[in-house]
Structure 1
């Protein structure tokens, strides 16, 4: 199978199925949920996932914008032809999923205004610039790992990048994240959430770390930092779909990068909805 076909299948898989650790998280939440309304909503979300996976239907009507993060193992290289194959696979995947037609027509200003309307074809959605870096993971020797994320509009609307004065206390930074999420999760509508958080030196780096948190995050293995955020926000009683209950978050994904000698930390926060992160990973040798 050529690379474009693998990317196409990966995009469709990311949109139509949950990873095992997400299913496990839903089941754990159901076993601990005391609210009848919340349990009803969680059961419907699991049923939605079952139908989507079986019939190869998108988990959500907002099928998302494709984002690519490429990791190069030792003794590998990347060419412009390979990047073109990835783009071709994304285009075919959006066409055959099918994705939601979201591409806006017109020049720069017309696209901002949306005054020329939309393209009718879902494959006109262009992915953002790819994130590429060399990996130190020995398991990737001689391999290239392509991580494909589909990011929907609701979490993007509620996302925020913010500078925080840390006051030499990491909880100052985490509590700002908690406060921002508290004020946005009840407006998100599609809870339970899995917030993705990156903490870095610049706005670019913090957002890159946030993207990586969604790639590397695992709800079966939560860090102390991730558990801290989850426990705080599960006390808000927002609950699934805003119906109240113990399950405002299924978990959280946090990625902390290098820091500079400064009183400020840059915090990128994305309150993913219950169908996100939508992720698939493709390996090539």
Structure 2
């Protein structure tokens, strides 16, 4: 299969399928809410799983907001970027959005016209341009790292919807030489945003770095590598604190406000500040697929 077609299929997969770890967490959440006799929450969670089953079997989008394509590329040190590589990825994304189909959301016009949408929207869903690509090396500090990865290129496709973007925040935190200050400040942000998100249960994705760009990049990587079946002590702490909010699925007042947390702490510098990017992914996100070449 050509790279263009692999990317096309990757976009469709990201938009139409839940990962195994998320399905497992949904099933665990249903049991938890059944034990707590939260019938409305059980009803909502079962509908979400049913929605995912239908989307998967019929190759239909999980949500009518089909999101903005983002691409994270990890390049092994023994590989080079092939000819027409970026062009082929963009073409595959366009074909994937057309076949889904994606929601036509791209804005016409130039400059300020795009801000006020005065020229209207394109009818073609493939006009939704991809966000600038991120290209990185493989992280050799990860537990799943092996030298074999240096012979590979991984293309991670993410579809980021508008609801979580509205409730996301990238800002500085003065750490006061206490990691708990940074984590608890992030929990405070998420506590406010989850009350307004609507499409809970969420999965908060958090990147902590030295600059706003780096924190956002680390947050994207958190979504790529996060696993609900394997959570760190800090991720479990954040999850447990947020589930005390009693927001519940779709705001129906129950225990399951978040399914888990994806946290990625990157390099830091000698400074009184840490930059945190926190994104409360809604119950259809993160929408991700990975192509390995």
Common topology (TM > 0.5)? yes
- Equivalent of residue 219 in structure 2, options 210, 215, 218: 210
Matching residue of 1:32: 32
Matching residue of 2:180: 171
- Equivalent of residue 91 in structure 1, options 77, 89, 94: 94
CA deviation after TM superposition for structure 1 residue 80, in Å = 5.3
Does the alignment pair 1:141 with 2:141? no
Matching residue of 2:159: 150
Matching residue of 1:240: 249
CA deviation after TM superposition for structure 1 residue 68, in Å = 0.3
Between the aligned partners of 2:129 and 2:83, the Cα distance in structure 1 is 17
Between the aligned partners of 2:176 and 2:82, the Cα distance in structure 1 is 45
CA deviation after TM superposition for structure 1 residue 82, in Å = 0.6
CA deviation after TM superposition for structure 1 residue 79, in Å = 3.9
Between the aligned partners of 1:256 and 1:93, the Cα distance in structure 2 is 32
Q: What TM-score comes out, normalization by structure 1 length?
A: 0.98
Does the alignment pair 1:255 with 2:255? no
Between the aligned partners of 1:87 and 1:80, the Cα distance in structure 2 is 13
Does the alignment pair 1:78 with 2:81? yes
**5+ residue gaps, structure 1:** none
- Equivalent of residue 228 in structure 1, options 229, 237, 243: 237
Q: What TM-score comes out, normalization by structure 2 length?
A: 0.95
CA deviation after TM superposition for structure 1 residue 139, in Å = 3.2
Matching residue of 1:6: 6
Matching residue of 1:107: 110
Runs of 4+ in 1 over 2 A off after TM superposition: none
Matching residue of 2:195: 186
- Equivalent of residue 119 in structure 2, options 100, 106, 116: 116
| CA deviation profile, 1:174-195 (whole Å, cap 9, x unmatched) | 1111111111111110000000
Name the Cα RMSD after superposition.
0.9
**5+ residue gaps, structure 2:** none
- Equivalent of residue 59 in structure 1, options 31, 55, 62: 62
Matching residue of 1:272: 281
Aligned length: 284
- Equivalent of residue 130 in structure 1, options 128, 133, 153: 133
